[in-house]
Amino acid sequence: MSRYVPCIDNYLTSMHPTNKELWRTELQLLYDSMKLSIADPLAIDGQWFDVHEEHGEGINPKFRTPEGKVIVGARGIVFAEIIPRFLESHQSFFDLVEKLDPGRQLETHERRKAALEIPESYKCLIDIIKETHELTFASPDRFLARLPEDFSIRSLLETHIARELKDPCFRYPHISGGLPSRDYTTALGSYHILKDRAISLTEEGFQFIPADQQYFESLHPGSLTSYKGRIRFFKETFERIDLTKARTELMFRLLLE
């Protein structure tokens, strides 16, 4: 154990962090919050296994598939125009942060450019979420119209879709403990904090390595405490879950029995 030296230790703990240290801390908090928010459209708040067959405790009798898959599938229908933009903003944010890794062979001006683009990428995401919350839907018919009448798919999904329209699942990532918020003003404040901090920095480098679990391509669905792993899982889940196809296949099987 190192010996406590009041004269030195008290001085060190009283030193104010530099702008660069604050920028790194705030970017880490935002990174953590962004990582958590990507789970929102999957309806499971970090409990990723709800959409896996082997972990699905509640089976939806109408689709004969885990209830989590039905909820995710319904959200995919309701927010079909929004989810691709939501995902694109997450990917953009992640790619910009990766450019700040000290191991990347980038010139200082390129790192600075990436650092200044990070707040703008973040603001794009929170604006998409704000737009989602502000949409007012008089009726779920607009979305149900995308589904065929075959095998009563519309009537089966009506309650799920009405629920999603009443309370959108998207939350705003922000700087403060790394937990997403329901408040757009809070998120907008985080945007200005990060933007102003980056603009004020004159130090060279703009280097940042997020405290994130390593991602391994060989693992499926990847490290779920890794931002990159969650992005991949998000993409693959929506590609795999197709309620229209699932219902059609189920009804054909029943007809053949």
Nearest to 143 by CA among 215, 230, 214, 74: 74
pLDDT of residue 49: 45
In a domain, 148, yes or no: yes
pLDDT at 246: 84
pTM: 0.84
Q: Residue 185 domain-assigned? A: yes
Q: Is residue 11 part of a domain?
A: no
- Ranges in the chain, pLDDT < 50: 1, 4, 46-50, 54-56
pLDDT given for residue 67 in this prediction: 80
Owning domain of residue 69: 19-256
Tokens representing 123 are 């603001």
- Indicate the burial class of 141 (C-beta count within 10 angstroms; 0-12, 13-18, 19 or more): exposed
Number of domains comprising the chain: 1
At residue 46, the pLDDT reads 47
User: Is 214 inside any structural domain?
Assistant: yes
Q: Is residue 169 part of a domain?
A: yes
**Residue 106: per-residue pLDDT:** 85
Look at residues 92, 107, 89, 94 and name the one whose alpha carbon lies nearest to residue 207.
107
CA distance 137 to 130: 15
Q: Is 103 exposed, middle or buried (0-12, 13-18, 19+ CB in 10 A)?
A: exposed
pLDDT one-digit tens code per residue, 36-84? 899 888 875 544 444 555 444 678 888 888 887 888 888 888 888 899 9
Residue 179, SS3 per DSSP:
coil
Domain assignment of residue 143, yes or no: yes
Phi/psi class of residue 18: alpha, beta or left (left: φ > 0; alpha: ψ in -120 to 50)? beta
Q: How many residues does the chain have?
A: 257
Whether 40 is in a domain gets the answer yes
Summary mean pLDDT of the chain: 83
Q: Give the model's pLDDT for residue 32.
A: 93
45 inside domain: yes
